[in-house]
Chain A
Amino acid sequence: MTFFSHLRKAAIATAFVLGATAVHAEEQYFPLQSYRVGPYAAGGTGFFGGFIDYLNLINIRDGGVNGVKLAWSEGETQYEVEKGVEVYERLKSNPGIAAWNPLSVGIAYAMIDRITDDKVPLITINHGRTDTTDGRVFPYVFPLLLNPYSETSGIVNYIASKEGGLDKLKGKNIVVLYHGSPYGKETIPIYELLSQKYGFELSQIEVPHPGNEQQAQWLTIRREHPDYVVLRGWGVMNPVALKTAQKRGFPADHIIGNVWSNSEEDVIPAGDAAKGYTAITTQASGERYPVVQEIVKTVYGDGKGNLEDKSRIGSVYHNLGIVNGILNVEAVRIAQAKFGNRTLTGDEVRWGFEHLKLDPARVEALGAKDLFHSINVSWDNHEGDGYVTFQQWDGKKWNVVSDWIAPDWKLLRPIIEKSSEAYAKEKGIKIRTAEDADAVVSN
């Protein structure tokens, strides 16, 4: 049956793409550079499934955002940069584009100049270049909730909380096992900085892409006898790390995964070797949150659910997609409050993102209490001070094992500004002011 359901989905997707040019004036359009086949399809189907499920919920339950229907179409990228750019070029002429959400560091990098010229927001939730947090230099890029430096700070703060405080980190030995890619290397300097600040010993060990063989790295780790290993992995690297750690006798409950090592797809293949493994997240998993239950009742009840395998509802990637949907929709809603209940331009939606403030009370009103904490985006802070929490795998499901933890934003901000200002100088970019940010292109 899977074969025919794939065929049906492919036909629907094709029809959507063909028909996508006919977006009506009352529609706000989301072009989706999704990946449903290829090496990272499991993450892609979960994330884009959750995103589409939320957009569907808004359309079915509310009739859109203040009467403006949400529309979308998908282009398959297989997580490949050139295909991502090709899909961008193909879909960018559609009217009413709200924002791009590629969920790919490589594709996002390739799009920065293009979306800046087109004046349309690029959302890189939980990933992307750290310095795009600085909205003074990157007006259209939004690494919402968590940039890589904040993630690093959150992980170190969590380890400190386990040890009894930041002062207890002194003399501890931490190994960072990172993916051999620009994504994996992004946090090397910030771990070094935090190591110097808090006095812990640090080793950073690279795993060559794709990471399906890690004997040498874990032998080195065994020799170092670290107190903790931080796993900054992606794809197959994660279960292999957990399996190899078991082979080398390293306890899973002393391995802390980063935000792209925190899904069911990372632990299920590792079997028992993953029991006790802990990972950072910006959004909790599970179905108990009202918004997820509404999606089950309203969207899946209406036969419009995007996930083929319903057991994946509430999984890490699915819930991340839902949270991403909430943030996108609320940015549109906020922008509508200023510019009117109509189809907005990309620059107007950018303004909406720059005023995206969802406090815990608003998050609760949206049915997402405890699903994620809050966000507070401003014209110059495009991350929005997202809080993190930690979840532990018990062999069957993730369980939250910490409170919401705040990264050390004050420590990180000067480093981010230094990097973004260097980028601005290199590219000849004028640094924006608050007044510049309030000037909006409305046609």
Chain B
Amino acid sequence: MSYYDFLFVIEVLVGGLLSGVMYSLVAIGFVLIYKTSGVLNFAQGSMVLFAALTFVSLVERGIPFALSLLITFAVMVALGFTIERTVLRPLVNRSPMTLFMATLGLSYIIEGAAQLIWGTQVHGLDLGIDDTPFEVGGILISSFDLLAAAIAAAMVAGLSAFFYWTRIGLAFRAVADDQFAALAVGLRLPRIWGTVWTAAGFVALVAGLLWGARLGIQFSLSLIVLKALPVLVLGGFDSILGAIVGGLIIGASEKLAEVYLGPFVGGGIEGWFAYALALVVLLVRPSGLFGQKTAERV
């Protein structure tokens, strides 16, 4: 292997890792809700679309950036509590499959509402972050991707601190461990769920802005859930650390596979390669690399 080939491998690896961070951003939203309510929220992608579309529509109407961000966050808080009140609360104690189907329906409703309220036009989103690459030892690195990675890292650190060092975080963990026990000690489950959906809405807003700056704000934003699902399977549905590590593994491996295996099988393999990898992990570790192992007495 020549020096140039070696550099190229490193470049593919770095590019994959940075892409993986973007997948993790979406996956974290899933983890937050799954951790506290056991619901696989299929509507997370639609929430990303809704948040980004709301934000960009406000900015285009002349509302300042910071105020638009604040209003959008308020909208996501309202959305989170509305979902809790109208969807989750009536379905409490239903099977996980029922709740999953409910979020599937919710996904279509949010997508439709986003387009109904803000229209179907594609929007550009300029966050003011320069996206011209810079060279480090012969490797081109995207400054935008680096910043996105830094934002994701900050968000993970913030969420971790929130979970471990705040009273509400402690309540989240109690609910995640055992909902009935949490109820028995007087925790108000609806309020906690509402707050968790709000936190997921915040994650959706951040993911929506970063992904929106890459893809444009358009309907396809909601499809980024397809990138998050193998990350969750691999990392574990209830682990924020798992979402990060899973994202990095999926991002790096799918890029390496596309570049080095793709030419032998006709190319275009990264779409399914991530799922194949996740499936292998599922066979070996059903709860993912970092997911909580559960055992039930039968």
Contacts A37-B112, A210-B223, A239-B216; A216 near B12 (Cβ below 8 A): yes
Would A216 and B259 count as touching, CB distance under 8 A? Answer: yes
Would A212 and B224 count as touching, CB distance under 8 A? Answer: yes
Q: B220 contacts which of A45, A212, A223, A309 (Cβ < 8 Å)?
A: A212
B60 to chain A, nearest CB (A): 11
Interface residues of A in 256-291 (CB under 8 A from B): 265, 268-271, 273
Q: Point out the residues of chain A lying under 8 angstroms from B145, CB to CB.
A: 247
Main secondary structure of the interface of A (DSSP, over half): helix
B95 at the interface (CB under 8 A from A): no
Q: Point out the residues of chain A lying under 8 angstroms from B255, CB to CB.
A: 215-216, 219
Interface residues contributed by chain A, number (CB under 8 Å): 46
Q: B115 contacts which of A37, A209, A215 (Cβ < 8 Å)?
A: A37
A61 at the interface (CB under 8 A from B): no
Would B115 and A42 count as touching, CB distance under 8 A? Answer: no
A265 to chain B, nearest CB (A): 4
Interface residues contributed by chain B, number (CB under 8 Å): 49
Q: Point out the residues of chain B lying under 8 angstroms from A209, CB to CB.
A: 271
Would B271 and A180 count as touching, CB distance under 8 A? Answer: yes
A207 at the interface (CB under 8 A from B): yes
Would B120 and A216 count as touching, CB distance under 8 A? Answer: no
Contacts A39-B218, A212-B224, A269-B123; A248 near B117 (Cβ below 8 A): no
Contacts A219-B12, A235-B220; A247 near B271 (Cβ below 8 A): no
Between B18, B132, B268, the greatest number of chain A beta carbons within 10 A of the residue's beta carbon is seen for B268
Q: A217 contacts which of B115, B144, B258 (Cβ < 8 Å)?
A: B258
Per-residue B-contact encoding for A152-165, CB less than 8 Å = 1, 0 else: 00000000000000
Q: Point out the residues of chain A lying under 8 angstroms from B117, CB to CB.
A: 2-3
Complex Cα gap A6–B112 (Å): 11
Q: Point out the residues of chain B lying under 8 angstroms from A269, CB to CB.
A: 122-125, 215-218
Q: Point out the residues of chain A lying under 8 angstroms from B85, CB to CB.
A: none
A308 at the interface (CB under 8 A from B): yes
Complex Cα gap A215–B121 (Å): 26
Would A41 and B120 count as touching, CB distance under 8 A? Answer: yes
Q: B116 contacts which of A3, A239, A249 (Cβ < 8 Å)?
A: A3
Per-residue A-contact encoding for B1-21, CB less than 8 Å = 1, 0 else: 000000010011001101100
Would B122 and A38 count as touching, CB distance under 8 A? Answer: no
Would A180 and B131 count as touching, CB distance under 8 A? Answer: no
Contacts A37-B112, A268-B122, A308-B119; A240 near B215 (Cβ below 8 A): yes
Between A210, A220, A246, A247, the greatest number of chain B beta carbons within 10 A of the residue's beta carbon is seen for A247
B111 to chain A, nearest CB (A): 8
Would A246 and B131 count as touching, CB distance under 8 A? Answer: yes
Would B140 and A45 count as touching, CB distance under 8 A? Answer: no
Interface residues of B in 151-169 (CB under 8 A from A): none
Per-residue A-contact encoding for B267-288, CB less than 8 Å = 1, 0 else: 1111110000000000000000
Complex Cα gap A313–B219 (Å): 22
Complex Cα gap A235–B215 (Å): 10
Per-residue B-contact encoding for A198-212, CB less than 8 Å = 1, 0 else: 000000011111101
B266 at the interface (CB under 8 A from A): yes
Complex Cα gap A212–B217 (Å): 12
Closest-by-CB residue of B relative to A204 is B267
Q: Point out the residues of chain A lying under 8 angstroms from B214, CB to CB.
A: 212, 240, 243
Q: Point out the residues of chain B lying under 8 angstroms from A406, CB to CB.
A: none
A129 at the interface (CB under 8 A from B): no
A69 at the interface (CB under 8 A from B): no
Q: A215 contacts which of B19, B216, B271, B272 (Cβ < 8 Å)?
A: B19
B177 at the interface (CB under 8 A from A): no
B62 to chain A, nearest CB (A): 15
Closest-by-CB residue of A relative to B132 is A246
Complex Cα gap A208–B254 (Å): 12
Complex Cα gap A235–B218 (Å): 9
A231 to chain B, nearest CB (A): 15
Contacts A213-B19, A246-B132, A248-B140; A2 near B223 (Cβ below 8 A): no
Contacts A206-B266, A208-B268, A247-B145; A215 near B218 (Cβ below 8 A): no
Q: Which residues in B have some Cβ–Cβ distance to A below 8 Å?
A: 8, 11-12, 15-16, 18-19, 112, 115-126, 131-133, 140, 142, 144-145, 214-220, 223-224, 227, 254-255, 258-259, 262, 266-272
| 14 A–B contacts from the bound complex (CB under 8 Å) | A3-B117, A212-B215, A213-B227, A216-B15, A216-B254, A219-B12, A220-B258, A223-B8, A235-B218, A236-B215, A236-B216, A240-B215, A269-B122, A269-B123
